[in-house]
Amino acid sequence: MSDVRLVLRSQRVLTPEGARPASVAVGDDGLIAAVLPYDTEVPPGAVLEDVGDDAVLPGLVDTHVHVNDPGRTEWEGFWTATRAAAAGGITTLVDMPLNSLPPTTTAEHLRVKREVAGPKAHMDVGFWGGAIPGNVGELRGLHEAGVFGFKCFLSPSGVEEFPELNPEELAAAMAEIASFDGQLIVHAEDPGRLASAPQKGGPAYADFLASRPRAAENDAIALLIELAREHGTRVHILHLSSSDALPLIADARSEGLPVTAETCPHFLTLTAEEVPDGATEFKCCPPIREKENQDALWAALSEGTLDCVVSDHSPCTADLKTPDFGQAWGGISSLQLGLPAIWTEARRRGHGLEDVARWMSRAPARLAGMTGKGAIAPGCEADFAVLAPEETFTVDPASLHHRNQVTAYAGRTLHGVVRSTWLRGERIADHGTPAEKKTGRLIERKTA
């Protein structure tokens, strides 16, 4: 066992068994050596960091981030994304395979991405691969090179270099992925349903909402469940918005099918009723829906039909957010704000920080198969988010470390101030300021 170099002490440490006063001993190896009683004597040579009443959560694991680097780095890059994420309490992120150039659809493209990300990673960074028409022969190589799974679309993705799969291509990809026990993660909207919905464009949010109906999600999810049953492929539903699809997912799970699902801070904290016309910083696909839909998503999180809450941080430059919902880029930026946004609504609904830690750290770590992350327990990596849960702040876009300071949360008052963020026992952000020293690593499925 390595020497203890840090003791992090708090009245509220979020362990897998619940919140309790504790002293977390961190070894020279960056792992948690032990979770000890609060007033344990600090070993000689170790530094004591006493955070008092501030809560210590396991560092957040955000498995849904579009970093866009290389190729669209003016939208977001690894330098800016990982610093913003660190300021927001995240310690590990997994990058989506699209919106960068090249997209992560071959092992060679993955190598390029890793080369770009390595020198810029302020936290641990892993990669999803992509399944697109014609690359089914690349999937095994990508899997062996360490991607955490494969993303696909069933409808247009928004960028031409990452086309959607048709039902035959989807079935072929699922069979291939099942052959090496990989995982498929899916943007689930049915193209036929989208094509037959009215596509009016313009500034009215109601028209945009009507253009991306719940039925598009419901039908796509029904197809995916059918194919999961047929091929045995592990399937994860990305950014679920339509609460009408929840019974389908719940039934698939009770049938024992390997189906999981996530939702996002914007679906859980913002509602269609409050989006001003022309406010395309709220545009994402699938869209933010009605208040009644949101209540059902919260109920599904409580019951466990939804596993995790991840950002789907998908930024762009400000000029692409034109006030026309038909034209504007779809994507919401929230990397630095997800934890306070979720905590604000969770506490209002009677949830505790242990729920937030489960949804935003433990469950996403499990989704990606990261055994050493997502928990404050001996042997896990010493990754922490220190949060002042009762303190509030008003979102000022100028304080965000995102590459572009466009956000749907501007002006909102949120509960929960991230005091500091720790990666393997090193402070990577302090009072909203990312550390200059770069301590992140590139992580792979087999080693994480």
Bridge partners (DSSP) listed for residue 92:
61, 124
Ranges within 75-104 binding Zn ion (CB under 5 A) = none
Q: Which is nearer to Zn ion, 185 or 342 (CB)?
A: 185
Cβ count near 172 (within 10 Å): 17
Q: Which stretch binds Zn ion (CB under 5 A): 45-53, 99-107, 310-318, 399-407?
A: 310-318
Residue 265: phi and psi, rounded to 5, are: -55, -40
Q: Which two tokens stand for residue 309?
A: 């809450």
CA distance 273 to 206: 9
Q: Which is nearer to Zn ion, 49 or 312 (CB)?
A: 312
3-state secondary structure of 176: helix
Of 217, 278, 272, 279, nearest to 244 (Cα)? 217
Are 35 and 376 within 8 A, CB to CB? yes
Q: Which is nearer to Zn ion, 30 or 102 (CB)?
A: 102
Q: Which is nearer to Zn ion, 190 or 312 (CB)?
A: 312
Q: Which helix (H) or strand (E) holds 338?
A: helix 338-348
Give the N- to C-terminal CA distance of the chain in Å, as an integer.
20
262 near Zn ion (CB under 5 A): no
The residue at minimum Cβ distance from Zn ion is: 312
CA distance 389 to 352: 10
- Report, in Å, the least distance between residue 168 CB and Zn ion: 24
- Report, in Å, the least distance between residue 124 CB and Zn ion: 19
Is the alpha carbon torsion for 343, 345, 348, 351 positive or negative? negative
Q: Which stretch binds Zn ion (CB under 5 A): 16-24, 226-234, 308-316, 400-408?
A: 308-316
- Report, in Å, the least distance between residue 113 CB and Zn ion: 16
3-state secondary structure of 439: coil
* Count of positions on this chain that bind Zn ion (CB under 5 A): 1
Q: Which is nearer to Zn ion, 152 or 418 (CB)?
A: 152
Q: Which is nearer to Zn ion, 23 or 314 (CB)?
A: 314
- Report, in Å, the least distance between residue 407 CB and Zn ion: 16
| DSSP 8-class letter at 146 | T
- Report, in Å, the least distance between residue 338 CB and Zn ion: 13
- Report, in Å, the least distance between residue 392 CB and Zn ion: 29
Q: Which stretch binds Zn ion (CB under 5 A): 3-11, 69-77, 305-313, 353-361?
A: 305-313
Residue 233: phi and psi, rounded to 5, are: -75, 140
- Report, in Å, the least distance between residue 334 CB and Zn ion: 12
Q: Which stretch binds Zn ion (CB under 5 A): 53-61, 83-91, 227-235, 312-320?
A: 312-320
312 near Zn ion (CB under 5 A): yes
- Report, in Å, the least distance between residue 390 CB and Zn ion: 32
Question: How far is C-alpha 50 from the chain's CA centre?
Answer: 29
Binding site for Zn ion (CB under 5 A): 312
